[in-house]
Each structure stands twice: as C-alpha cells, then as structure tokens.
Chain A
Amino acid sequence: MVRVCFTANLQRHLDCSEATVSGATVRDALDAVFETQQQLKSYVLDDQNRLRQHMVIFIDGKTIVDRVHLSDAISPDSEIYVMQALSGG
C-alpha cells in the first residue's frame, strides 16, 4: 500500500492525517485520499486539478515531473510526500 503524507502546515487549516491507499499513479493515490477528505483537495490542487503552483510532491525522495496530470508512476510500497514548495509564502 502507498503511504501518503501531507505537510504539517496544512494541519492549521484542516485535518490531513497520513493515509494509506493504492494506485498506479500520483493522481490515483491522491484521488483515493480525497474521497475521504474532500476539502483537502482544493488545498493541494487548483480549480483545474493541477498541483498548486507553490506545492511540490515527492515520490520516494524525488519530485514529480507531471504537475498537470499527475501521471508519475508509483509502486505499491511508495511513499508520497505533499509539501509546500520553498516559494510564495
């Protein structure tokens, strides 16, 4: 199962507990999380379903490439970290 963690800064605004989901891509994994935490989606993705400009996602220590479609592949034992990028603020 894929482990999905969110930046602790999001806890100021809403519950974003660590989640365990399944899927073949980042999009699959996030969609699975958002099914149970719907409000979280708008904090991570913009209204066109892209990764927000000042957010970044790591898969097993590497940043994703496809910030628009979130098509980067994950494996069953992947760890996904959804973080704030060091910009904006």
Chain B
Amino acid sequence: MSSALHIATRKGLFRLDRSANGWDISRHDFVGENTSMVLHDSRDGKTYAALNHGHFGVKLHRSTDGDENWEECAVPVYPEGATKGAGPFSTDGEPKPASLSEIWALEAGGADQPGRLWCGTIPGGLFRSDDCGSSWQLVESLWDLPERQGWFGGGKDDPGIHSICVHPENSQRVAIGISCGGVWVTDNDGASWTCKADGMYAEYTPPDQAKNPNIQDVHRLVQSPSRPETYWVQHHNGVFRTTDGASSWQEVTGIQPAKFGFAVAVHPRQPDTAWFVPGVKDECRVPVDGEFVVARTIDGGVTSEVLTNGLPGKQSFDIVYRHALDIDETGDVLAVGSTTGNLWISENGGDAWQAISNYLPPVYCVRFVKS
C-alpha cells in the first residue's frame, strides 16, 4: 500500500505521509507557487514538480533525495519560429508563436528506458527527455501533423496534452489524450502517430463534425495496467472505453449521477473497475444536487455505485480536475482533491472516505508515491 502522496496545488506542492495515526501533511514545498503537475518516478526515486509562475513562466524542478532538496532543471522549449496554429477562435486568422504556457502532463518512460520522461504541454506539444529532464526534445512527428491545426482549446485557451499512457509491457507504444484533439497512439516510440478516437462523439460541434476523432475533447485518458488494451476516457460529454487498444471506443452510459466530469482512475488489476467524479454538465460545473460524490463501476461501465460515505452531503460545490483523482498500486487506496481545497482518502476502494484537509489551495493533481 502506498504510504506517501503528492498534492500539486495553486499554492505549492504538499506531501502527505501515512503513519500509524493516519495520513498527515509532512511537507509543503514551493510555498505560494502555482504547481501544475508532479511526478514521482518509481524507477529511480526522483520527483519532479512543474511550476507555473504568473510572471516568470513555467519551470521544472527535480529532487533526487526524497523531496528534501530541489534543483531547477530544463523545461520544454518550442523551436524558434514554431507556431501554435490559428485555431477556430483566432481573431485575425494568423498563427501565433508557440510559447510554453503550462506543463499539463508528466510521465516516466518504460522500465527499459532509464531517464526517459514524456511531457505534455499547452499549446499542444509533446516533448521527451532521455536525461531525467536535463534537456527536452519536441516530438516533431506529432507537432508536424497537419491535423494539429484542427485541435482547439478545452478549458484552456490553447489545446493541450494532458494524458500520456506508456504501455506497461511495450514502452514503444504510447497513447496521449488531448483537449481538444482526441487520442493519438504511437507504436514506434513516437516516430509516427495515429488518431484513435473512433466511436467518440462530440455534442459541442455542428452535427457533421460530431464524430470527427481529431476534435474530441478527451478530459482524461487512463490505461489499465493489467489489461493494457483497455483504456478509459472521461470525455467532455460522456465516458468512453476501449478494449481493443483504442481501435474502437464504446460509450459507457452507466455512470451515475452524471456523465460529465474530468477525472477517471482504473483499478490496477481489475480493468473493468473504474472511478469517476461526476458534475452536472459543461455549462454548470458543480456536483449534481450540490452533493459531492464519487462513482464506481465494477462491470465495465454497465452499472455504477454512487459512493457517499464520508463525503460531504448537500451544499458542496467541489469539482475535481483531470489529475486530481489517483489510486495506489493495491487498488484499495484512492485520493481525491478538489478545486475547493478539500482532500479525501479512501482505503477500501471508495466504500468509505476520510477528509484529510478542508483547507488546501485549489488542487490540480494528486499522485501516490508508488514503488
């Protein structure tokens, strides 16, 4: 069972450790700084924290000693002259210079790729590092795709890559999720890419564009560790699942009390078990009836349970962002952090929850330190 948890927030990076007395905050680093992403790399024990200074830009820090000390390392840099495309909401139709505005995804490469990190950014870049973040290279095979011009922002002004799934048994296969640009998959370590969002549909576009895989607003993409052909997606207007390696997607309609949300987590050994944090809908991003709940399905999304034990009742208006729901390697321990600064942990798969703090800054990401 994981005994440590990182929480990236609007006001810094927190670390929780579990003792005999339960979970408690043990560290607060980068106090006051907007921390958009955190990664603990179980391969070598390094921790990475992405900061987004309001004035001074995006920075990446690295710790090699269990979060005791941090050093600034490199951040992804777009090539000189790179443009982010005009996009459908451009005011003058002209492409704009691509400049790093956020690190939205950070993942470790495969066990056979020491030092490899993948980084998803806004505006819509995928970068890789083979030296633990000391340098980064833009994955030009993805950046140069003409389809990228069709991506657009979802929740952010520009499109962004927020999900990166490295196949647990074949590190050459990587799937990424984009808001709004669907799911793209490489089978050759990033040399070439295929859009694999067939079966998804978008309620927010003109009808003739609804099934275009390249404009799907994937809010979050996760991969089953035990059956890697299964991926789950929390999408802007629903939940989708594939069991054939993203070749085809089926809508899941059994998630209650609503199909809208940002986060999804999948059980480490049970590919048909997943958790969600529903909200009313796009236009009204609050819990249904003002009651914050977590939904769990154990049958591939045919049915779901609404988990409430230990969670607030009425008059709660927490929303959980894409990366603010995580599960540990046992499948028993879940953590969920909200925009209202609440953090809950369950140690029995969501049957019961404990509020760890009600006073955190807005939570962007929670991640267990996994072995």
**Quick check: A43 and B54 within 8 Å, CB to CB?**
no
Select from chain A the residue with minimum beta-carbon distance to B74. A42
**Quick check: A52 and B55 within 8 Å, CB to CB?**
yes
Select from chain A the residue with minimum beta-carbon distance to B80. A48
Say yes or no for A5: interface residue by CB 8 A criterion: no
**Quick check: B78 and A47 within 8 Å, CB to CB?**
yes
Select from chain B the residue with minimum beta-carbon distance to A42. B57
Say yes or no for B195: interface residue by CB 8 A criterion: no
Select from chain B the residue with minimum beta-carbon distance to A39. B72
Determine the chain B residues whose CB is within 8 A of the CB of A13 once the complex forms. Answer: 53, 56, 59
Q: Which residues of A contact B (CB under 8 A)?
A: 9-10, 13-14, 39, 42-44, 46-48, 50, 52, 54-55, 84-85, 88-89
**Quick check: A47 and B100 within 8 Å, CB to CB?**
yes
**Quick check: B72 and A88 within 8 Å, CB to CB?**
no
**Quick check: B75 and A42 within 8 Å, CB to CB?**
yes
Task: For the complex, give the distance between the alpha carbons of A16 and B99 in Å.
Answer: 23
Determine the chain A residues whose CB is within 8 A of the CB of B78 once the complex forms. Answer: 47-48
Select from chain A the residue with minimum beta-carbon distance to B97. A48
Query: Which of A44, A48, A85, A89 has most chain B Cβ within 10 Å?
Result: A48
Say yes or no for B77: interface residue by CB 8 A criterion: yes
**Quick check: A48 and B56 within 8 Å, CB to CB?**
no
Ranked nearest first, the 9 interchain pairs of A and B with the lowest CB-CB distance are A88-B54, A43-B56, A54-B55, A47-B77, A89-B54, A46-B99, A84-B55, A48-B97, A47-B99
Query: Which of B57, B59, B78, B80 has most chain A Cβ within 10 Å?
Result: B57
CB distance from B83 to the nearest CB of A (A): 10
**Quick check: B55 and A89 within 8 Å, CB to CB?**
yes
Select from chain A the residue with minimum beta-carbon distance to B100. A47
Selected contact of B56 from candidates A47, A50, A52, CB within 8 Å = A52
